[in-house]
Amino acid sequence: MLSPKKVKFRKRQKGRLKGTAYRGSTISFGQYALKAVGCGRMTAQQIEAGRVAINRTVRRGGKVWIRIFPDKPVTKKPAETRMGKGKGSPEFWVAPIKPGRILYELAGVDEELAVKALTLAGNKLPFPTKVIIKGKTL
């Protein structure tokens, strides 16, 4: 699973996901991409599940770029714990996603296979996504 090697602070505040993505909203590397339409938090497990779905579909026939990284810790308190006693310990890592953010990019395969692979990856995510093609509107 993806996680940072080192962070400045162990625990972070939750924050709010408002507005649209400014950075990471255009295709930079590949020909096809999976773009977030809604907002949410994408865990390291979900990023890996999407990558596996793409690789199984294209069968090592193309190149895949993951354009997000889970650098935000999410804390949890143990079950049946009384209120107070501070913030829980970090449990997993997430990447905050705003609408318009490019999640995966793909190159080196034909259009039909790329759309199928990226759609399968999008089905594993907790927010709506769409497949976009460089220089073409769907």
> How confident is the model over 74-127, as pLDDT tens digits?
999 999 999 999 999 999 999 999 999 999 999 999 999 999 999 999 999 999
30: buried, middle or exposed (CB in 10 Å: 19+, 13-18, 0-12)?
buried
Rounded to the nearest integer, the mean pLDDT of the chain is 94
What pLDDT, on a 0 to 100 scale, did the predictor assign at position 138?
60
For residue 30, which of 54, 63, 55 has the smallest C-alpha distance? 63
Prediction pTM value: 0.92
Indicate if the pLDDT at residue 6 is higher than 80.
Answer: yes
Task: Specify the pLDDT at position 131.
Answer: 96
C-alpha span between 89 and 76 (Å, rounded): 6
pLDDT value of residue 137: 63
pLDDT of 63 higher than 90: yes
Statement: residue 52 has pLDDT above 70: yes
